[in-house]
Amino acid sequence: DAKTTQPPSMDCAEGRAANLPCNHSTISGNEYVYWYRQIHSQGPQYIIHGLKNNETNEMASLIITEDRKSSTLILPHATLRDTAVYYCIVAAYNTNAGKSTFGDGTTLTVKP
């Protein structure tokens, strides 16, 4: 499975959009991009995933570049409760989840 690279930390002002980047230059054609987040001391929580089209749900939007080598998770109006570690994971659909890893993620701090 492809590896991902994320910045270790980012800050965002409350109410503003938080844009979290992820590089996955070795992604294969059948691999999806998944995003999870982990709020302090809790288990990780699924946010969103996509293949090549942009995706949006009630939590966030996912923008994937045309060459699929990078993506951006967007939290449109960040709140203090969005402070968490955000993980970008690349994995093929319907493959054993035991083959992919979380990595170290990006620590997002939302400031008042």
For residue 101, state whether it binds another protein (rule: CB under 8 A).
Answer: yes
- Give burial (CB, 10 Å; 0-12/13-18/19+) of 52: middle
Q: Sketch the per residue contact string, 10 through 39, with another protein: x for CB under 8 A, - otherwise.
A: ----------------------x-x-x---
Question: Between residues 87 and 108, which has the closer beta carbon with respect to another protein?
Answer: 87
d(CA 111, CA 108): 10
Per-residue tokens: 70: 């990078």
Q: Diameter of the chain by CA atoms?
A: 41
Question: Between residues 97 and 112, which has the closer beta carbon with respect to another protein?
Answer: 97
Residues that bind another protein (CB under 8 A): 32, 34, 36, 41-46, 49, 85, 87, 89, 91, 93-98, 100-105
